[in-house]
Chain A
């Protein structure tokens, strides 16, 4: 038993080291466009994981993710932009003097983005989490829109509908995937802790969970706030990758994309979300060709239609819901026991290394 545990620790360290090496290779060998796509995959991983915690593990059908992302993106952007570029951008209405002078380093700003989004999560959660199912979905959707409208209209803080430009650009894959890996580790630990089981108990049977002494409201709020925190972190990273943000970015469609990742990966599986976030982000780019003019043997010809990619994803989603409802992984998780069993009981340390 102990020996197995030791081996698993070694395997985990090997996996982390392998990922590190892979990222190192990617950083040095791929072009900046490819790196950008992989960074985007890291952001979608964080978003998918945080949404899966709320929807897949705690069973709350919340659609407010884009709102919390919006809060995080603005917080990080305002905190990291230089005073000079702020002066330049806020020409409609001068920026709030307290914010004008602030310029934080990147990591504290990312953390602050998460925390501010978490505070919004708390404020939205307190009234909204008294609802459940579709009512909760509608309410959170509404709150996300409210957040967006407020951001559009608090011009002295957010520069309104003009948005923010000249956000410091970060290209390093380490920042994005570092955040993603930390998110994976923290969420995995939460899911496997007593709290994670409490969340799952609420998802499985709310009445029984409450009768076993779990405070439903407190735990739902906790899960929702953690979800908002990581959505905020992802929003901050989104700002650093695009370098300009405006309120229209954070429409409902954005939430839907994340939902797509969660559903395809499997509601209630962190592994599934990570895989599907990476695959879907890459597919989004690979499938760009379908938006150009298509000519099938001269029989059918379709002029270039922007949005054709989403048709393919919608069909994919339809297929999954009709024929493979649990998604890629269902509620299963990747774990070493499973892998070790796969390879038989032979010494699998070296083999495990190559996975």
Chain B
């Protein structure tokens, strides 16, 4: 499996009689930004859900750094180093911005509940260290002035950004972004593109993203996979995808019309 960070080997997902994804294979090398596109209902989010353990593929295998992670539980997969965001924002609504990010550090906490209740040094120090790390992270993404705000009271664009930061706080090697630019105007999506590029530089991340905004996908992704009705239609660099007749027919043509 050489040096690929994430590989899906002919994965399929069936819900009853419905084949949401069939025989889908992808390979991602460390440091790449890869796009996953396709019309609505093509099975993109299902692919994400299989990679993150929400669903276990009905057939096929998933490898993360040569390790078979097929069928592992979601929290286990996150602790190995795969983090994700959601298509519809899922922040913890009762919590502040900082608390939302601190949640992601819980899995890295090396102390037990008894130590926490008695506030023993090992717990206190770990917690302080996590606090510092989260504050630093929030500073890097210019959310540090809003740490005590309620997460759901932030403007939409910042909520999206916070979701990405929260995923980053789990210290992932690969980040899965599910439509990060959904609901954004062209200006905001350009900002988001810069943001993702900046994060990749800073954290040596690999990114796999689902996105409908073509300017974002074409602008930032080095390689693109196209799904249609759960079947891989094409893969290649942005130029190849843009000129692929099958893709244009299935997808880009329609977008071009209403854009």
Contact = CB atoms under 8 A, between A and B. Distances in A.
Q: Do A and B bind each other?
A: yes
Interface of A: 186, 189-190, 193-195, 197-198, 200-201, 203-205, 207-216, 222, 268, 331
B253 to A, nearest CB: 34
B94 A331 contact: yes
Given A198-B106, A200-B94, A204-B92, A210 B113 contact: no
Contact of B116 (A193, A201, A214, A331): A193
Contacts of A198: 103, 106
Nearest to A212: B104
Interface string B91-120: 111110001001111110100010011010
Given A189-B117, A195-B116, 12 more contacts: A190-B117, A194-B127, A198-B103, A205-B91, A211-B52, A212-B78, A212-B170, A213-B75, A213-B104, A213-B170, A214-B75, A214-B106
A201 B92 contact: yes
A300 to B, nearest CB: 46
Contacts of A203: 94
Contacts of A216: 75
10 contacts: A189-B119, A197-B99, A197-B102, A198-B103, A200-B92, A200-B94, A205-B90, A212-B107, A213-B107, A331-B94
Interface stretch (B79-87, B192-200, B209-217): B79-87
A214 B86 contact: no
Contacts of B170: 212-213
Contacts of A212: 78, 83, 103-104, 106-107, 166-167, 170
Contacts of B91: 205, 208
Contacts of B127: 194
B73 interface: yes
A212 B52 CA distance: 11
Contacts of B93: 204-205
A187 B170 CA distance: 27
A194 B105 contact: yes
Contacts of B244: none
Interface residues of B, number: 34
A197 B117 contact: no
B84 A211 contact: yes
The 8 A-B pairs with the shortest beta carbon distances in the complex, nearest first, are A213-B107, A213-B78, A193-B116, A208-B90, A204-B92, A210-B74, A215-B75, A189-B117
Contact of A186 (B104, B106, B117, B123): B117
Interface in B170-203: 170
Interface string B145-187: 0000000000000000000001100100000000000000000
Main secondary structure of the interface of A (DSSP, over half): helix
B163 to A, nearest CB: 9
A207 B90 contact: yes
Given A195-B113, A204-B95, A211 B106 contact: no
B171 to A, nearest CB: 10
Interface string B44-88: 000000001010000000000000000001111011000110100
Contacts of B116: 189-190, 193-195
Nearest to A202: B92
Given A193-B113, A198-B103, A211 B94 contact: no
Contacts of B79: 213
B102 A190 contact: no
Residue from A186, A208, A209, A268 whose CB has the most chain B CB atoms within 10 Å: A208
Contacts of B92: 200-201, 204-205, 208-209
Contacts of B106: 194-195, 197-198, 212-214
Given A208-B90, A214-B75, A200 B95 contact: yes
Given A201-B103, A204-B92, A268-B94, A211 B74 contact: yes
Given A210-B75, A213-B79, A215-B75, A197 B104 contact: no
